[in-house]
Amino acid sequence: MTRTRPPMPASRTGITDVRNRPKTSWAGLWFIAPFLGFYLLFVVWPSVVGLGYSFTDRSLAGGPVSFVGLDNWVESLSDPYMWSALWNTLLFTLLSVPTMVILALALALLTDHARRLGWFLRFSFFAPFVLSVAVMTLIWAWMYNPTLGLFNSVLESLGLSGIEWLHNESTAMISVVIATAWWQVGFNYLLYLAAMQSIPDDVYEAASLDGASAWQKIRRITLPLLSRTTGLITILQLIGSLRVFEQIYLMTEGGPNFATRTIIQYIYDSGFVGLRIGTASAMAYVFMALIIVASIAQFRFFSRKEQ
């Protein structure tokens, strides 16, 4: 507040007196209390309890619980299968983040330039996003089926040999990435499209008058003005990709020969199938540390670039 106004009776102006501020901010707290309550109960409290569990040998089966110090952490960090699961998560992230950012940008550019079928493109590119994960994985598992699936019958009708898609250690992860990109790219696409449509037309008009080609306009105007959106999308996608679990669990259950078992599945396997809540909590914290580091690095990188 830079201006000061003469005091007026609040009843006349409808404006709250400055001196009443503290009261109103308490009222605000009541409004967020329902959210805060659930947040504390279902996010903060379990996180704290989980950290506590990671220092115990707590089992899902119950029984006496004893403090085991750093045993779970040592076990997790020296477990080669945890590291290979972590690598699978990183591999999925490395493959999916660039794909889903660049693809979203390309689709948004296409839609932005389409004069006639814009509504149709918007609908087609975004529609898969509304499917539930179970539906998406059913569709793709059928299309990927090596003997009965769509892809291989197309390949074979073209005289090519079929690919084993989800059933081969070297192609399974890529197949999952392709299916995920089809399913999830719509959200990034929508963010890009919205950002593109908020770029004022006069910038482009000025560039046209200066004789800029279409490609130059994209490179020199669209992309620089989208950099904030790109940063946002990349961060969201990075976090989303690191958390990958459902579609892989439904499509391959982590196979073949664990080529697609992600860290979250390994945590699930240890905690819920193997009943070892203590170790699973320790692994979950190792993984959380990784996500936090990645997010901070990403955030630093993009905020510095903007300056």
Q: What does the binding site for another protein look like in residue numbers (CB under 8 A)?
A: 57, 59-63, 75, 79-81, 145-148, 164, 167-169, 190-191, 194, 254-258, 269, 272-276, 279
Cβ distance to another protein smaller for residue 235 or 291: 235
Q: Which residue has the tokens 């959210």?
A: 35
In the complex, the smallest distance separating the C-beta of residue 80 from another protein, rounded to whole angstroms, is 8
Cβ distance to another protein smaller for residue 165 or 287: 165
In the complex, the smallest distance separating the C-beta of residue 168 from another protein, rounded to whole angstroms, is 7
AA identity, residue 296: I
Cβ distance to another protein smaller for residue 26 or 30: 30
SS3 content of the chain, % helix, strand, coil (to 5): 75, 0, 25
In the complex, the smallest distance separating the C-beta of residue 300 from another protein, rounded to whole angstroms, is 25
Structural contact between residues 38 and 257, judged by C-beta atoms closer than 8 angstroms: no
What lies within 8 Å, CB to CB, of 277 at 6+ separation is 53, 58, 59, 60, 271
What lies within 8 Å, CB to CB, of 195 at 6+ separation is 225, 226, 228, 229
Cβ distance to another protein smaller for residue 198 or 208: 198
Q: What are phi and psi of 212, to 5 degrees?
A: -75, 140
In the complex, the smallest distance separating the C-beta of residue 258 from another protein, rounded to whole angstroms, is 5
Cβ distance to another protein smaller for residue 130 or 148: 148
In the complex, the smallest distance separating the C-beta of residue 232 from another protein, rounded to whole angstroms, is 11
Q: What are phi and psi of 115, to 5 degrees?
A: -90, -35
